[in-house]
Structure 1
Amino acid sequence: MSDIIDSTDAFVMNLFKDKLPNNFVYHNYTHSKRVYKSINDIIEESQINVKDATVLKLAALLHDTGYTETRDGHEEVSAKIARKFLKSQNVDEEIIEGVVKCIIATKFDVDPKDSMEEMIKDADSSHFGKKYFDEASEFLRQEYKLQGIKEYTANEWRNENINVLVKKHQYYSEYAMNKWQPQKEKNLANLIKEKKKLKKTRKKEDMKAQLKAKYKEASPDRGIQSFYRVALRNHIKLSDIADTKANILLSVNAIIISLVLSNLLSKLDSNDFLVIPTAIFVLSSATTMILSVIATRPNVTRGEFTKEDVANKSVNLAFFGNFHKMELSQFEWAMEELLKDREYIYSSLTKDLYFLGKVLDRKYRILRTTYTIFVIGTIISIISFGISFYISGHPVEVPTIEVN
């Protein structure tokens, strides 16, 4: 009998290799050999005769050969292929009929009628009670997807497996009940545990989404946040521009005064007519420098606040001048109170924006006056030099200044 088993094994392997499409990643030769191994395990622990054992082994190898021609009704096609092949091998008719009967019994929705059918059905579904259940199940899911039967999500496939294990499948033989049923129950428990875990995770995600939506509704629109961000940034840029302008005036006039004092001062004794225009020139430059310094001079604040100030929301913690003298612990406490209150946060930003505007107003007013004095002083100085030269009888020309 071992010869017919070997011949059948070789026949099935070659048949699948030549005719089975590549998208059968579960129902293939590997699956047939797995069923064959499982039926051997059952046979070894069961008291059956050699003929029945041969029938079961042949049925295990041949039960899915019909997939080479069709998926629907493949059991009947497998039975025909088995009958034709076994007849060609001069196998006893009784064995052939037994094989055909066992193959038809592998239909998932058919109840077994005797112990032989129970054994072959248990062997065909042995993966339900094996540790490699997840792997085998995933191959079946991919096969459905590749063949366009149905594309299951991971959650849908988990639910489908739970439904099959609970409602549609059972083991019949004594061996399967003793050896495979415990692992089947573990596999089922793992599926249920994963389902509960996923449900719990989704519940948390839904809750987070609800809280996020609620917080978003309660919080200001992004347009308000963008307004504060852009307004504060623009005010800071304008402040930088004002400081730059003041520094330019300060530097230019410092150079002018330095050159005037070093070149004209020594000539005033012999040129009295230059005293008044030089004084006007130096005075306008000095005034310009003083106003430039005033424009950029920082204001010193007290740098302290009290708990009452925080409670009354009267202190602006967005500005360093209000807290630079405070202890770190007090500042951290105040910031925690600030961050708890959305209205306080935006009130602080509003105050910061307002006082930045006040500072800018002061800077630009002083700078405007400074530029005016610088321009007028320069014009008056030039006119004064011209008048002085005219009155004194000297040629009208601006005295040259030598740069050392």
Structure 2
Amino acid sequence: MNDIVQAADDYILNLFKEELPTNFLYHNYTHSKRVLKSINEIIENSKLSKKESLVLRLSALLHDTGYIKCRDNHEEESARIAREFLESQEVEKDVIDEVEKCILATKFDKDPKNKLEEMIKDADASHFGKDYFEEASEFLRQELIAQNIKTYSPKEWRNENIRLLVEEHQFYSEYALKKWQPVKESNLAKLMKKRKKDRKKLKKEKLKAELKAKYKDASPERGIQTFYRVALRNHIKLSDIADTKANILLSVNAIIISLVLSNLLSKLDTNPFLIAPSAIFVVSSTISMILAVIATRPNVTRGEFTEEDVKNKSVNLTFFGNFHKMELSQYQWAIEELLKDRDYVYSSLTKDLYFLGKVLDRKYRILRWTYTIFVLGIIISIIAFAVSFSLAEQTVTVDNLVN
């Protein structure tokens, strides 16, 4: 009897090794051996004849061999393969018939008709009542994904397992009901606890998102803050652009003046006609430099305020020029008073925005005049140089004719 069981073990090992695709991560040799181990548990704790025990052990080993041919209705194929193998081993016909019936009984939607079918059916689904349930279940999920049958997310797979354990699966044999059913219920409780925890977390996140959206829509604070933030940032950027333009003009005009002085100054004695255009060029560049400096020149403020100024909300504490001479303790007190009153905060930001705008207006008006003078100076200087060179050539020509 043991020889035929070992022969069946060796047979399925070679069969699965040679013909079973590698993407069968659950229904493989390991699963068959796990079912054999479970059926041995039942046999050891049940009153069965040697013949019945043999039928169960052979059924456990051979019940999934049909997967080498197909997935759907693999039980029929497994029964056929089992019959061919057992006949080749000259096993008794009644044993083969019983093995065939037990294999067909492992269909998930089929109710067992006798105690042997109950036992093999329980052994095939014994992982539901084992500590390794989650591990075995994950292998089955990965098998379904690998074979493109259905892709379950971990959450979806957990819900499917809960549905399966609650609505479809049941143990039949006395041993399974006594030993495996409590573990199955414990596994089910763990799944339901995880689902409850996830639902609670999801509900909390959903409520948080709803409250956040409601608060965002109901309160104008965010829009007001965005307005001040964007407006102040734009003003500061424009101020930086103005300073950059002024620095460019300073650099360009400094270079122009240095070139004029170094190259033309020594030639004015011998070329007096260059004096006027050179003077126009230097004067326009000098005026442009002066205006560029004026545009970027900071204003001096008193840097002090009084308690009355703070109480009357007449001082803008967001501008450094109003507090740079004050002690830290006085400034901290003033800021605390400011933050107590939202209107005072917005009033200070409004003042800061307004006076930044005034400064920008002054800078850009001066820069406009600076660029205008610079461009006109260059144009007039070029015309003056052209006229001066023309008059100089005519003078030379007249002198040559007279001589």
Structure 1 length-normalised TM = 0.70
Give the drift of 1:338.
5.2
TM-superposed deviation, 1:92: 1.4
Q: Distance in 2 between matches of 1:336 and 1:5?
A: 90
- Residue 66 of structure 1 aligns to a residue in which SS? helix
Q: Say whether the 8 Å CA contact 1:313–1:344 is kept in structure 2.
A: no
Q: Identify which of 228, 239, 242 aligns with 1:238.
A: 242
Match of 1:191, as an amino acid?
L
The aligned counterpart of 1:169 is 169
Query: What is the CA–CA distance in structure 1 between the aligned matches of 2:79 and 2:163, rounded to whole Å?
Result: 29
**Which whole-Å CA distance do the structure 1 matches of 2:307 and 2:194 have between them?**
52
Q: How does 1:40-119 map to 2 (within 5 A)?
A: 40-119=40-119
Judged with a 3 Å threshold, the aligned counterparts in structure 2 of structure 1 residues 216 and 40 are, in CA distance, closer, same or farther, namely: same
Which secondary structure state, in structure 2, belongs to the residue aligned with residue 220 of structure 1? helix
Tell me which moved more, 147-156 or 317-326.
317-326
319-328 or 49-58, larger mean C-alpha shift: 319-328
The CA distance in 2 between the partners of 1:230 and 1:204, in whole Å, is 39
Select the residue among 215, 219, 223 that pairs with 1:220. Answer: 223
Paired amino acid for 1:40:
N
CA distance in 2, matches of 1:101, 1:323: 96
Q: CA deviation at 1:291?
A: 9.2
Letter in 2 for 1:91: V
Alignment of 1:106-145 (within 5 A): 106-145=106-145
Q: Which residue of 1 aligns with 2:10?
A: 10
Q: Which residue of 2 aligns with 1:23?
A: 23
Question: Cα distance, 1:298 vs. partner?
Answer: 4.5
Question: What is the identity, as a one-letter code, of the residue corresponding to 1:33?
Answer: K
- Seen in structure 2, the aligned counterparts of structure 1 residues 181 and 312 have a Cα distance that, compared at 3 Å, is farther
Distance 1:90 1:312 in 2: 110
Is the alpha carbon distance of 1:293 and 1:42 closer, same or farther for their aligned partners in structure 2, counting shifts above 3 Å?
A: same
**Residue 351, structure 1, aligned to residue 354, structure 2:** no
Residues 228 and 55 (structure 1), Cα distance of their counterparts in 2 relative to 1, 3 Å cut? same
Change (3 A) 1:30 1:94: same
1:199 aligns to 2:199 (yes or no) = yes
Change in Cα spacing, 1:294 to 1:67, as seen in structure 2 (3 Å) is: closer
C-alpha deviation, 1:230, in angstroms: 2.6
Cα-to-partner distance string for 1:242-268 (whole Å, 9 max, x where unaligned): 588789999x99xxxxxxxxxxxxxxx
Q: Distance in 1 between matches of 2:32 and 2:118?
A: 17
Q: How far did 1:62 drift?
A: 0.6
**2: CA distance, partners of 1:340 / 1:82:** 87
Tell me, yes or no, if the aligned pair for 2:141 and 2:157 is still in contact at 8 Å: yes
**2: CA distance, partners of 1:320 / 1:354:** 15
Deviation per CA, 1:337-368, whole angstroms, max 9, x where unpaired?
759959955x5544323212323445667789
Q: Aligned partner of 1:141: which letter?
A: R
Shift of 1:189: 1.6
TM-score (norm 2): 0.70
Is the CA contact (8 Å cut-off) linking 1:129 and 1:187 kept in structure 2?
Answer: yes
Shift of 1:329: 9.8
Unaligned runs of 5+ in 2: 258-286, 378-403
Q: Is the 1:303–1:326 Cα contact (8 Å) retained in structure 2?
A: no
Whole-Å Cα distance in 2 between the matches of residues 329 and 78 of structure 1? 91
The 1:326/1:83 distance shift into structure 2, 3 A limit, reads farther
Spell out, residue by residue over 1:73-99, the C-alpha distance to the aligned partner (whole angstroms, 9 max, x if none).
111221121112111111112211221
8 Å CA contact 1:39, 1:57 repeated in 2: yes
- The answer to whether the aligner puts 1:158 opposite 2:158 as a matched pair is yes
Distance 1:332 1:135, change over 3 A: farther
The one-letter amino acid of 2:173's match is S
Supply the RMSD in Å over aligned alpha carbons.
Answer: 4.9
Q: Identical aligned pairs, as a percentage? A: 59
Q: Is the 8 A contact 2:338 2:344 kept in 1?
A: no
Please say if residues 235 and 356 of structure 2, whose CA atoms lie closer than 8 Å, have aligned partners that are also in contact: no
Code of the residue aligned with 2:163 in structure 1: it is N
Structure 1 residues 67, 302: closer, same or farther in 2, change over 3 A? same
Look up the match of 1:280.
none
Amino acid of the residue matched to residue 237 of structure 2? R
User: How many angstroms apart in 2 are the aligned matches of 1:174 and 1:308?
Assistant: 91
Aligned length: 364
Q: CA deviation at 1:332?
A: 9.0
Give the Cα separation in 2 of the matches to 1:197 and 1:366: 67
Checking the alignment, whether the CA contact within 8 Å between 1:235 and 1:357 is kept in structure 2 is no
What amino acid sits opposite 1:238 in the alignment?
A: A
TM-superposed CA distance for 1:142, in Å, is: 2.0
Unaligned 5+ segments in structure 1 are: 254-286, 377-404
Q: Distance in 2 between matches of 1:348 and 1:13?
A: 83
Kept in 2: contact 1:310–1:334 (CA 8 A) = no
Deviation by residue 1:214-242 (Cα, 9 ceiling, x = unmatched) = 45545339995545423321124424655
Residue type at the aligned position of 1:150? K
